[in-house]
Amino acid sequence: MQEAFVALGANLGDRESSLTEAIRRLQADPYLEVRRVSAVYETAPVGFTDQPSFLNMAVSLVTELDSILLLRRLLAIEQEMGRVRDIRWGPRIIDLDLLVHGDVPMETSELTLPHPRMGQRAFVLVPLRDVWPEEAPFPWEAELSAFSLAEEGIKRFAEWNGEGLRKEL
Ligand SMILES: Nc1ncnc2c1ncn2[C@@H]1O[C@H](COP(=O)(O)OP(=O)(O)OP(=O)(O)O)[C@@H](O)[C@H]1O
Ligand SMILES: Nc1nc2c(c(=O)[nH]1)N=C(CO)CN2
């Protein structure tokens, strides 16, 4: 069993329902065991900026699957939920990115691990920090502490209460 970390994002339609649905699908997958679920953050769009703000979160899970099979299950969830691919970095109902799986880096045309852009993305590192094991050093601590969350347009939006999202008051 190896631990994996997955980033989730949504900025089209009912963002909260999409994230809830994606987590339910991960939890229902017999090959995956979801361990921790981060808080939900509302984040300003990065890359292609003329699009609605995102909700972002992260989960940790354990699995016997190899990294490619794990990625394919994540892509299948995106597809089943109706994700349409058009603009690169453009708006989407749901996005599931594999950030890290075990400690083996890899680079193929289908999958690069760790995710090649994660260190530059506060919207990934902030939720990832929530689910990173306390006993292990967080490898992107320096990158994370260099971000100003206000400047990055990141604010805490909701929590996962085990079944769904609970809005922060
Ligand atoms: N670590 C990874 N996680 C997810 N997809 C990856 C990864 N490495 C390579 N890919 C490949 O990238 C392809 C495009 O992914 P996707 O459409 O989610 O990109 P994006 O979210 O628009 O941009 P970004 O990759 O910058 O997050 C996937 O089909 C997959 O084969
Ligand atoms: N704030 C934010 N910006 C993005 C996001 C995202 O999830 N959150 N995903 C992108 C494509 O991977 C591009 N830009």
Residues 58-68: tens digit of each pLDDT: 999 999 999 99
Ligand 2 pocket test: pick from 12, 53, 93, 95 the residue with the most ligand atoms within 8 Å of its Cβ. Answer: 95
Question: 81: Cβ below 6 Å to ligand 1?
Answer: no
Q: Is the CB of 79 under 6 A from ligand 1?
A: no
Amino acid at residue number 95: D
Q: State which ligand 2 atom lies nearest to the alpha carbon of 44.
A: 1
DSSP letter for 135, please: T
Contacts of 120 (CB under 8 A, 6+ apart): 143
Q: What is the spatial distance between Cα 16 and Cα 40, in angstroms, rounded to a whole number?
A: 9
In angstroms, what is the span from residue 109 Cα to ligand 1's centroid? 10
Beta strands, E only, 1-153? 2-10, 32-37, 40-43, 54-63, 95-101, 106-107, 112-113
Q: Identify which of 106, 140, 108 has the alpha carbon closest to the alpha carbon of residue 123.
A: 140
Assigned CATH class of 2-163: alpha beta
9 Cβ below 6 A of ligand 2: yes
* Mean pLDDT rounded to a whole number for the chain: 93
What is the rounded average pLDDT of the residues 112-132?
Answer: 97
Residue having the nearest C-alpha atom to atom 20 of ligand 1? 89
4 burial (CB, 10 Å; 0-12 / 13-18 / 19+) is: buried
| Closest ligand to Cα 54 | 2
Judged against a pLDDT cut of 70, whether residue 169 lies above it is answered with no
- Return phi, psi of residue 141, to 5°: -60, -40
ipTM here: 0.96
Whole-structure pTM value: 0.96
Residues recognised as catalytic: 83, 92, 95, 97
The tokens describing 52, both together, are 């609605």
